[in-house]
Amino acid sequence: MELFKHHSRKEIVNTFLYGGLDNKTYRKIKGRLYQRNIKNLRDIAFFLMIYDILYLMCTLSGLFSKHFIVPYSYLAVISIAYFLLSETSVFRHEKIGRIIYNCFICLFFLFSTLMGTKYSYSGLAVTFNVILVLLPFLFIDPPRYNIPLVISNVVIFIIFTSLYKSGKILFDDIFDATIFGLLAIYCNFVLTSKLIRQFAYEMTIENEKNFDGLTKVYTKELSEHLIAEALKKGYCGVLLIIDVDHFKTFNDSFGHIYGDEVLREVAASLRKNFRQEDIIGRFGGDEFIVFMKDATLENAKKKTDDFMNTLMDTFKEKSPVTCSIGMAEVKNVTTYKSLLKKADTALYYSKEHGRNQYHVFKNDA
Protein backbone atom coordinates (compact mmCIF):
# COMPACT_ATOMS: atom_id res chain seq x y z
CA MET A 1 0.00 0.00 0.00
CA GLU A 2 2.98 2.31 -0.51
CA LEU A 3 1.06 4.04 -3.29
CA PHE A 4 -1.49 5.41 -0.80
CA LYS A 5 0.75 5.75 2.26
CA HIS A 6 1.43 9.48 2.04
CA HIS A 7 -1.92 10.55 0.60
CA SER A 8 -5.13 11.53 2.33
CA ARG A 9 -8.42 9.84 1.55
CA LYS A 10 -9.57 12.97 -0.33
CA GLU A 11 -6.46 12.93 -2.54
CA ILE A 12 -6.96 9.24 -3.35
CA VAL A 13 -10.64 9.84 -4.21
CA ASN A 14 -9.72 12.83 -6.40
CA THR A 15 -7.08 10.75 -8.15
CA PHE A 16 -9.61 8.00 -8.84
CA LEU A 17 -12.39 10.32 -9.98
CA TYR A 18 -10.55 13.25 -11.60
CA GLY A 19 -6.94 12.16 -12.13
CA GLY A 20 -5.63 14.16 -9.18
CA LEU A 21 -7.49 17.38 -10.05
CA ASP A 22 -10.46 18.91 -8.29
CA ASN A 23 -13.86 18.49 -9.93
CA LYS A 24 -14.00 22.08 -11.25
CA THR A 25 -10.59 21.91 -12.95
CA TYR A 26 -11.28 18.46 -14.38
CA ARG A 27 -14.58 19.61 -15.93
CA LYS A 28 -12.67 22.34 -17.78
CA ILE A 29 -10.35 19.85 -19.49
CA LYS A 30 -12.73 16.88 -19.71
CA GLY A 31 -13.95 17.70 -23.21
CA ARG A 32 -10.43 18.18 -24.56
CA LEU A 33 -9.27 14.88 -23.00
CA TYR A 34 -12.26 13.12 -24.54
CA GLN A 35 -11.51 14.54 -28.00
CA ARG A 36 -7.83 13.60 -27.65
CA ASN A 37 -8.70 10.00 -26.82
CA ILE A 38 -11.21 9.74 -29.67
CA LYS A 39 -8.54 11.03 -32.07
CA ASN A 40 -5.86 8.66 -30.70
CA LEU A 41 -8.12 5.64 -31.14
CA ARG A 42 -9.01 6.84 -34.64
CA ASP A 43 -5.31 7.05 -35.55
CA ILE A 44 -4.73 3.56 -34.14
CA ALA A 45 -7.77 2.22 -36.02
CA PHE A 46 -6.49 3.77 -39.27
CA PHE A 47 -3.07 2.17 -38.83
CA LEU A 48 -4.62 -1.23 -37.99
CA MET A 49 -7.00 -0.92 -40.93
CA ILE A 50 -4.12 -0.46 -43.40
CA TYR A 51 -2.04 -3.17 -41.71
CA ASP A 52 -4.93 -5.68 -41.70
CA ILE A 53 -5.81 -5.07 -45.33
CA LEU A 54 -2.17 -5.65 -46.36
CA TYR A 55 -1.93 -8.72 -44.11
CA LEU A 56 -5.13 -10.23 -45.54
CA MET A 57 -4.01 -9.53 -49.10
CA CYS A 58 -0.71 -11.32 -48.43
CA THR A 59 -2.56 -14.19 -46.75
CA LEU A 60 -4.97 -14.64 -49.64
CA SER A 61 -2.08 -14.56 -52.09
CA GLY A 62 -0.40 -17.42 -50.20
CA LEU A 63 2.49 -15.49 -48.60
CA PHE A 64 1.22 -16.04 -45.03
CA SER A 65 -0.50 -18.93 -43.27
CA LYS A 66 -4.30 -18.80 -43.20
CA HIS A 67 -4.31 -19.77 -39.50
CA PHE A 68 -4.87 -16.17 -38.38
CA ILE A 69 -7.20 -15.06 -41.18
CA VAL A 70 -10.32 -15.04 -38.93
CA PRO A 71 -8.95 -12.84 -36.09
CA TYR A 72 -7.29 -10.45 -38.56
CA SER A 73 -10.51 -10.22 -40.57
CA TYR A 74 -12.32 -9.42 -37.31
CA LEU A 75 -9.71 -6.75 -36.48
CA ALA A 76 -10.05 -5.24 -39.96
CA VAL A 77 -13.84 -5.00 -39.59
CA ILE A 78 -13.76 -3.25 -36.19
CA SER A 79 -10.92 -0.93 -37.32
CA ILE A 80 -12.85 0.14 -40.43
CA ALA A 81 -16.08 0.47 -38.43
CA TYR A 82 -14.49 2.74 -35.81
CA PHE A 83 -12.64 4.83 -38.40
CA LEU A 84 -15.87 5.43 -40.36
CA LEU A 85 -17.84 6.21 -37.20
CA SER A 86 -15.19 8.71 -36.11
CA GLU A 87 -15.89 10.68 -39.31
CA THR A 88 -19.56 11.13 -38.35
CA SER A 89 -21.19 13.32 -35.70
CA VAL A 90 -21.85 10.43 -33.28
CA PHE A 91 -18.91 11.36 -31.01
CA ARG A 92 -20.13 14.94 -30.57
CA HIS A 93 -22.42 13.64 -27.81
CA GLU A 94 -19.92 12.79 -25.10
CA LYS A 95 -22.02 10.31 -23.10
CA ILE A 96 -23.00 8.29 -26.17
CA GLY A 97 -19.54 8.71 -27.69
CA ARG A 98 -17.81 7.44 -24.54
CA ILE A 99 -19.95 4.29 -24.49
CA ILE A 100 -19.13 3.57 -28.15
CA TYR A 101 -15.46 4.39 -27.58
CA ASN A 102 -15.20 2.01 -24.60
CA CYS A 103 -17.02 -0.73 -26.52
CA PHE A 104 -14.49 -0.48 -29.34
CA ILE A 105 -11.57 -0.62 -26.89
CA CYS A 106 -13.08 -3.85 -25.52
CA LEU A 107 -13.44 -5.17 -29.08
CA PHE A 108 -9.76 -4.46 -29.71
CA PHE A 109 -8.91 -6.20 -26.43
CA LEU A 110 -10.99 -9.16 -27.58
CA PHE A 111 -8.75 -9.47 -30.64
CA SER A 112 -5.65 -9.67 -28.42
CA THR A 113 -7.49 -12.16 -26.18
CA LEU A 114 -8.31 -14.40 -29.15
CA MET A 115 -4.75 -14.15 -30.45
CA GLY A 116 -3.39 -15.14 -27.03
CA THR A 117 -5.80 -18.00 -26.36
CA LYS A 118 -7.73 -19.69 -29.17
CA TYR A 119 -5.13 -18.95 -31.87
CA SER A 120 -2.06 -19.38 -29.67
CA TYR A 121 -2.97 -22.17 -27.25
CA SER A 122 0.67 -23.25 -26.86
CA GLY A 123 2.27 -19.81 -26.34
CA LEU A 124 2.03 -16.96 -23.84
CA ALA A 125 -0.40 -14.09 -24.45
CA VAL A 126 2.22 -11.36 -24.84
CA THR A 127 0.09 -9.01 -26.98
CA PHE A 128 -2.71 -8.86 -24.43
CA ASN A 129 -0.37 -8.02 -21.56
CA VAL A 130 1.46 -5.34 -23.56
CA ILE A 131 -1.84 -3.62 -24.47
CA LEU A 132 -2.90 -3.69 -20.81
CA VAL A 133 0.17 -1.71 -19.77
CA LEU A 134 0.04 0.63 -22.78
CA LEU A 135 -3.57 1.64 -22.09
CA PRO A 136 -2.79 4.62 -19.77
CA PHE A 137 -0.18 5.87 -22.26
CA LEU A 138 -2.54 5.76 -25.24
CA PHE A 139 -5.73 7.02 -23.60
CA ILE A 140 -5.51 9.60 -20.82
CA ASP A 141 -8.54 9.13 -18.60
CA PRO A 142 -9.06 9.14 -14.82
CA PRO A 143 -8.80 5.71 -13.16
CA ARG A 144 -12.60 5.54 -12.76
CA TYR A 145 -12.82 5.02 -16.53
CA ASN A 146 -9.72 2.93 -17.23
CA ILE A 147 -9.58 0.63 -14.20
CA PRO A 148 -13.02 -1.00 -14.78
CA LEU A 149 -11.92 -1.43 -18.41
CA VAL A 150 -8.71 -3.19 -17.30
CA ILE A 151 -10.45 -5.45 -14.75
CA SER A 152 -13.27 -6.50 -17.11
CA ASN A 153 -10.84 -7.37 -19.91
CA VAL A 154 -8.55 -9.33 -17.56
CA VAL A 155 -11.58 -11.33 -16.40
CA ILE A 156 -12.63 -12.02 -20.01
CA PHE A 157 -9.07 -13.05 -20.85
CA ILE A 158 -8.91 -15.48 -17.90
CA ILE A 159 -12.23 -17.04 -18.99
CA PHE A 160 -10.96 -17.54 -22.56
CA THR A 161 -7.63 -18.87 -21.30
CA SER A 162 -9.44 -21.42 -19.13
CA LEU A 163 -11.39 -22.59 -22.18
CA TYR A 164 -8.46 -23.02 -24.55
CA LYS A 165 -5.42 -23.76 -22.36
CA SER A 166 -4.45 -26.13 -19.59
CA GLY A 167 -1.55 -27.09 -17.35
CA LYS A 168 1.45 -24.85 -16.82
CA ILE A 169 0.68 -22.56 -19.78
CA LEU A 170 -2.77 -21.87 -18.28
CA PHE A 171 -1.24 -21.02 -14.90
CA ASP A 172 1.43 -18.80 -16.51
CA ASP A 173 -1.14 -16.86 -18.56
CA ILE A 174 -3.47 -16.30 -15.60
CA PHE A 175 -0.52 -15.27 -13.42
CA ASP A 176 0.84 -12.89 -16.11
CA ALA A 177 -2.59 -11.37 -16.80
CA THR A 178 -3.11 -10.76 -13.06
CA ILE A 179 0.33 -9.19 -12.58
CA PHE A 180 0.08 -7.04 -15.71
CA GLY A 181 -3.48 -6.08 -14.76
CA LEU A 182 -2.26 -4.87 -11.35
CA LEU A 183 0.59 -3.04 -13.08
CA ALA A 184 -1.91 -1.37 -15.41
CA ILE A 185 -4.02 -0.29 -12.41
CA TYR A 186 -0.92 1.11 -10.71
CA CYS A 187 0.02 2.98 -13.90
CA ASN A 188 -3.48 4.39 -14.09
CA PHE A 189 -3.24 5.75 -10.56
CA VAL A 190 0.30 7.09 -10.77
CA LEU A 191 1.07 7.79 -14.42
CA THR A 192 -2.36 8.85 -15.66
CA SER A 193 -2.81 11.35 -12.83
CA LYS A 194 0.54 12.91 -13.73
CA LEU A 195 -0.41 13.04 -17.43
CA ILE A 196 -3.79 14.61 -16.62
CA ARG A 197 -2.18 17.27 -14.40
CA GLN A 198 0.38 17.95 -17.15
CA PHE A 199 -2.45 18.22 -19.68
CA ALA A 200 -4.32 20.66 -17.41
CA TYR A 201 -1.16 22.73 -16.98
CA GLU A 202 -0.52 22.87 -20.74
CA MET A 203 -4.15 23.81 -21.33
CA THR A 204 -3.86 26.60 -18.74
CA ILE A 205 -0.78 27.95 -20.52
CA GLU A 206 -2.58 27.69 -23.85
CA ASN A 207 -5.61 29.53 -22.44
CA GLU A 208 -3.41 32.30 -21.06
CA LYS A 209 -1.89 32.67 -24.50
CA ASN A 210 -5.13 32.46 -26.50
CA PHE A 211 -7.70 34.04 -24.18
CA ASP A 212 -7.86 37.56 -22.85
CA GLY A 213 -7.26 37.42 -19.09
CA LEU A 214 -9.93 39.99 -18.19
CA THR A 215 -12.82 39.11 -20.50
CA LYS A 216 -12.13 35.38 -21.17
CA VAL A 217 -12.72 35.76 -24.91
CA TYR A 218 -10.12 35.17 -27.63
CA THR A 219 -7.15 37.49 -27.90
CA LYS A 220 -6.86 39.78 -30.91
CA GLU A 221 -4.12 37.62 -32.44
CA LEU A 222 -6.05 34.36 -32.21
CA SER A 223 -9.32 35.99 -33.35
CA GLU A 224 -7.67 37.40 -36.45
CA HIS A 225 -5.99 34.08 -37.20
CA LEU A 226 -9.24 32.10 -36.86
CA ILE A 227 -11.22 34.55 -39.00
CA ALA A 228 -8.53 34.61 -41.69
CA GLU A 229 -8.48 30.79 -41.73
CA ALA A 230 -12.28 30.65 -41.99
CA LEU A 231 -12.22 33.01 -44.98
CA LYS A 232 -9.49 30.94 -46.66
CA LYS A 233 -11.70 27.86 -46.27
CA GLY A 234 -14.51 29.66 -48.07
CA TYR A 235 -16.83 30.42 -45.17
CA CYS A 236 -19.41 33.13 -45.66
CA GLY A 237 -20.70 35.15 -42.73
CA VAL A 238 -20.74 38.55 -41.05
CA LEU A 239 -17.98 40.43 -39.22
CA LEU A 240 -18.84 42.81 -36.37
CA ILE A 241 -16.66 45.35 -34.59
CA ILE A 242 -18.12 46.45 -31.23
CA ASP A 243 -16.95 49.62 -29.50
CA VAL A 244 -18.12 50.54 -25.99
CA ASP A 245 -19.50 54.09 -26.12
CA HIS A 246 -17.69 56.70 -24.00
CA PHE A 247 -15.68 54.04 -22.18
CA LYS A 248 -13.13 56.56 -20.97
CA THR A 249 -15.91 58.28 -19.03
CA PHE A 250 -16.51 55.12 -16.97
CA ASN A 251 -12.86 54.93 -16.03
CA ASP A 252 -12.67 58.63 -15.20
CA SER A 253 -15.96 58.77 -13.28
CA PHE A 254 -16.10 55.41 -11.53
CA GLY A 255 -12.52 54.11 -11.61
CA HIS A 256 -10.70 51.38 -13.49
CA ILE A 257 -12.25 48.58 -11.40
CA TYR A 258 -15.70 49.55 -12.66
CA GLY A 259 -14.29 49.93 -16.17
CA ASP A 260 -13.01 46.35 -15.97
CA GLU A 261 -16.45 45.20 -14.81
CA VAL A 262 -18.02 46.88 -17.86
CA LEU A 263 -15.64 45.05 -20.21
CA ARG A 264 -16.33 41.72 -18.48
CA GLU A 265 -20.10 42.23 -18.78
CA VAL A 266 -19.84 43.22 -22.45
CA ALA A 267 -17.86 40.03 -23.15
CA ALA A 268 -20.34 37.93 -21.13
CA SER A 269 -23.26 39.43 -23.07
CA LEU A 270 -21.51 38.63 -26.35
CA ARG A 271 -20.98 35.00 -25.30
CA LYS A 272 -24.57 34.75 -24.10
CA ASN A 273 -26.22 36.08 -27.26
CA PHE A 274 -23.98 34.90 -30.07
CA ARG A 275 -23.59 31.28 -31.10
CA GLN A 276 -21.06 28.84 -29.69
CA GLU A 277 -19.40 28.48 -33.12
CA ASP A 278 -18.97 32.25 -33.54
CA ILE A 279 -15.48 33.71 -33.11
CA ILE A 280 -15.53 36.29 -30.30
CA GLY A 281 -12.43 38.22 -29.34
CA ARG A 282 -11.21 41.35 -27.60
CA PHE A 283 -9.83 43.59 -30.31
CA GLY A 284 -8.04 45.91 -27.92
CA GLY A 285 -9.01 48.38 -25.19
CA ASP A 286 -12.79 48.71 -25.29
CA GLU A 287 -13.28 47.09 -28.70
CA PHE A 288 -14.48 43.57 -29.44
CA ILE A 289 -14.78 41.57 -32.64
CA VAL A 290 -17.25 38.86 -33.65
CA PHE A 291 -17.27 36.72 -36.77
CA MET A 292 -20.47 34.76 -37.41
CA LYS A 293 -19.57 31.89 -39.72
CA ASP A 294 -22.21 30.92 -42.29
CA ALA A 295 -24.67 33.48 -40.90
CA THR A 296 -26.93 35.77 -42.91
CA LEU A 297 -27.11 39.49 -42.35
CA GLU A 298 -30.57 39.05 -40.83
CA ASN A 299 -29.19 36.52 -38.32
CA ALA A 300 -26.43 38.95 -37.39
CA LYS A 301 -28.88 41.82 -36.91
CA LYS A 302 -31.12 39.72 -34.64
CA LYS A 303 -28.20 38.55 -32.51
CA THR A 304 -26.90 42.12 -32.29
CA ASP A 305 -30.29 43.42 -31.15
CA ASP A 306 -30.41 40.70 -28.47
CA PHE A 307 -26.88 41.61 -27.34
CA MET A 308 -27.65 45.33 -27.05
CA ASN A 309 -30.86 44.61 -25.11
CA THR A 310 -29.02 42.27 -22.72
CA LEU A 311 -26.38 44.93 -22.13
CA MET A 312 -29.01 47.56 -21.31
CA ASP A 313 -30.77 45.19 -18.89
CA THR A 314 -27.46 44.35 -17.20
CA PHE A 315 -26.69 47.98 -16.41
CA LYS A 316 -30.22 49.37 -15.96
CA GLU A 317 -29.60 49.84 -12.22
CA LYS A 318 -26.29 51.61 -12.92
CA SER A 319 -24.94 54.00 -15.48
CA PRO A 320 -26.21 52.82 -18.92
CA VAL A 321 -23.68 51.04 -21.14
CA THR A 322 -24.17 51.15 -24.89
CA CYS A 323 -22.14 50.13 -27.91
CA SER A 324 -21.54 51.30 -31.44
CA ILE A 325 -21.23 48.46 -33.91
CA GLY A 326 -20.04 48.11 -37.48
CA MET A 327 -21.07 45.12 -39.63
CA ALA A 328 -19.68 43.81 -42.88
CA GLU A 329 -20.97 40.82 -44.80
CA VAL A 330 -18.60 38.44 -46.57
CA LYS A 331 -19.47 39.47 -50.09
CA ASN A 332 -16.89 40.00 -52.82
CA VAL A 333 -14.26 39.79 -50.06
CA THR A 334 -11.25 37.49 -50.19
CA THR A 335 -9.09 38.65 -47.27
CA TYR A 336 -9.57 39.38 -43.60
CA LYS A 337 -8.03 42.86 -43.94
CA SER A 338 -10.51 43.94 -46.59
CA LEU A 339 -13.45 42.63 -44.53
CA LEU A 340 -12.12 44.36 -41.41
CA LYS A 341 -11.78 47.65 -43.29
CA LYS A 342 -15.44 47.49 -44.32
CA ALA A 343 -16.62 46.70 -40.78
CA ASP A 344 -14.43 49.51 -39.41
CA THR A 345 -15.95 51.95 -41.90
CA ALA A 346 -19.44 50.92 -40.75
CA LEU A 347 -18.38 51.33 -37.10
CA TYR A 348 -17.14 54.86 -37.80
CA TYR A 349 -20.52 55.67 -39.36
CA SER A 350 -22.34 54.41 -36.22
CA LYS A 351 -20.16 56.54 -33.95
CA GLU A 352 -20.53 59.63 -36.12
CA HIS A 353 -24.33 59.31 -36.25
CA GLY A 354 -25.23 59.20 -32.57
CA ARG A 355 -23.68 55.95 -31.21
CA ASN A 356 -25.74 53.21 -29.49
CA GLN A 357 -26.56 51.66 -32.85
CA TYR A 358 -25.20 49.35 -35.54
CA HIS A 359 -24.60 50.06 -39.17
CA VAL A 360 -24.06 47.66 -42.06
CA PHE A 361 -21.34 48.50 -44.55
CA LYS A 362 -22.55 49.75 -47.90
CA ASN A 363 -20.55 51.16 -50.76
CA ASP A 364 -21.90 54.61 -49.93
CA ALA A 365 -21.39 54.27 -46.13
| pLDDT the model gives residue 361 | 94
Sites in the chain below the pLDDT cut of 70 = 1-8, 121-124, 363-365
Q: What pLDDT sits at residue 2?
A: 47
**Residue range 209-267, pLDDT digits in tens:** 888 989 999 999 999 999 999 998 888 999 999 999 999 888 888 888 989 999 999 99
Q: Output the CA angle 121-52-110, nearest 5 degrees.
A: 45
Please give the pLDDT value at position 271. 94
Cα 219 to Cα 210: distance, rounded to the nearest angstrom: 6
Distance CA 109, CA 154 (A): 9
- Which residue spans within the chain are E strands per DSSP? 237-244, 279-284, 287-293, 323-329, 357-360
What confidence tens digit (pLDDT) does each residue in 48-69 have? 999 999 999 999 998 888 888 9
Alpha-carbon dihedral 128, 130, 134, 135, rounded to 10 degrees: 10
The model's pTM is: 0.61
- Classify burial at 33, counting beta carbons within 10 Å of its beta carbon; exposed 0-12, middle 13-18, buried 19 or more: buried
Say what the pLDDT of residue 7 is.
58
In angstroms, rounded to a whole number, what is the distance separating the alpha carbons of residues 145 and 184? 13
